Amino acid sequence: MTDIAERYIRLAHAIDAHSEGFIDGYGGPPEWAVREAREPQALMAEASALLADVAGVPEDARREWLTVQVRAMHTMTRLLSGEAIAYADEVRGLYDIEARRADLNELDGALRALDAALPGSGSLVEREEALRARVAVPRGDILRVAAPILAELRSRVSARFGLPDGEDFSIELVNDRPWSGYNWPLGNLKSRIDINTDLPVLLPSLPDLLAHEGYPGHHTEHATKEAGLVRGCGWQEHAVQLINAPECVVSEGIAVNALRAVMTPDEAEAWLTGELAALAGLDADDIRAFLAAAQARRALGGVSGEAAMRLHADGAPEGEVLEFLRTYAVVGEARARQSLRFIGNPTFRSYIFTYSVGGDLVRRATERGGSDTFAHLLREPVTPGQLAAMGQ
């Protein structure tokens, strides 16, 4: 079955030659990493042939995971060939999940709850932005404040789930990106985490961001699966991470739930309003106010997906979508444009649903199975369909 992995990795690189960013990270044999821009129709035929041969993989877990992954690659080749695919079908074809629309009545109710939670006077956006400014960490202090957060998270992850020997990552502060944070898998159990400072980095969000990208989120998952699946089982297909594929639903679901997997909300609040507030030189009452507002803000989690549906499925003008984001994401012009930039990016236009759908699937599965389920997701290949069944 080595041939299956090699064909999978070569096809991924051929797709990446047309759609740069399709490969999120690669740590496998360098001779397989050939970015050769062949005709999309030929790649589509190759994906079809690979899908047929994947049916012969003897290991159930490996076969089922490869099946949904190669189906997504086939969808990518259809898009590259110029085939018109409805946006909801694109989401389904790439990620093996259904796109979600938001209920405006529920969003309006969430805005009322947020209005009651936010301190001060003025509009929702004015009060939100004022509170965010009071809990922002100066750019020069971000890495200093991040250091003890990472140390604590790593200690908890090591004790609860274990970490492979030799895993490590670096952190860089970057600008002019469409996302707030990103983990770049580098192979050899290493990765790099970028934190975007285009917009202020907030102390109450920093533990979640570092858990999401590092411990026990993306870095932990990639390193654990590289150690267990690539080195342990010889399943080389896990040496490459694809950005437009079902694996991202599970990966983002893990990352969205990462902080809660090692720390209760009460523990996180005590940490933020105590040690971390003092370290950052911020007022603990402002942090408490932000966390209280965040509770109301959670019901607005479907706003980005609805904005993407309006932009790509409904064909709404960008200005209209921007106004929707300003209203329901409760953000100023700069943050609304950052969100619009993300959902308008060709690589991420349908990716947005991996956060909400993946987050809900992992939350339900771990509520049912606890930390053992979270550990299983870190170590084993799981499809979105299997993840949904785990939460039922």
Residue 107: in which H helix or E strand, if any? helix 104-117
Please give the share of the chain, as a percent, with pLDDT higher than 90: 96
Bridge-based pairing of strands 240-242 and 190-196 is unpaired
Could you write out the DSSP letters of every residue in 67-106? Answer: HHHHHHHHHHHHHHTT----HHHHHHHHHSS------HHH
Q: How confident is the model at residue 1 (pLDDT cuts 50, 70, 90)?
A: low
Token output for 320: 């209209």
Token output for 120: 């001060």
Token output for 19: 């759609």
Q: How confident is the model at residue 154 (pLDDT cuts 50, 70, 90)?
A: very high
Q: What is the dihedral of CA 116, 119, 120, 122, to 10 degrees?
A: -50
Axis crossing angle, helix 206-213 with helix 247-256, rounded to the nearest 10: 150
**DSSP state for residue 57 in the 8-state scheme:** -
- By the 8 A CB rule, do 357 and 35 touch? no
Residue 36: pLDDT over 90:
no
State how far the Cα of 185 lies from the Cα of 381, in Å rounded to an integer: 17
Stretch 148-170: mean pLDDT, rounded? 97
Looking from the CA of 376 toward its CB, the CA atoms found within 13 Å total 14
Q: Give the pLDDT confidence of 196-215 residue by residue, as tens digits.
A: 999 899 999 999 999 999 99
Question: Which of 368, 383, 376 is CA-nearest to residue 71?
Answer: 383
Stretch 126-149: mean pLDDT, rounded? 96
Residue 17: pLDDT over 80:
yes
Average pLDDT, the chain: 96
Residue 162 DSSP SS3: coil
The region that residue 172 occupies, defined by phi over 0 for left and psi between -120 and 50 for alpha, beta otherwise, is: beta
Q: How confident is the model at residue 44 (pLDDT cuts 50, 70, 90)?
A: very high
**DSSP state for residue 252 in the 8-state scheme:** H
Where do we find the tokens 């290493």? 190
How buried is 201 (Cβ within 10 angstroms: 0-12 exposed, 13-18 middle, 19+ buried)? Answer: buried
Q: How confident is the model at residue 178 (pLDDT cuts 50, 70, 90)?
A: confident
State how far the Cα of 201 lies from the Cα of 232, in Å rounded to an integer: 38
| pLDDT on residue 2 | 64
State how far the Cα of 135 lies from the Cα of 118, in Å rounded to an integer: 14
Q: How confident is the model at residue 273 (pLDDT cuts 50, 70, 90)?
A: very high
Strand partners, 69: none
Give Rg (Cα) of the chain.
21
Please give the share of the chain, as a percent, with pLDDT higher than 70: 99
Question: Which of 41, 65, 42, 63 is CA-nearest to residue 54?
Answer: 63
Q: Give the pLDDT confidence of 305-323 residue by residue, as tens digits.
A: 999 999 999 999 999 999 9
Residue 37: pLDDT over 90:
no
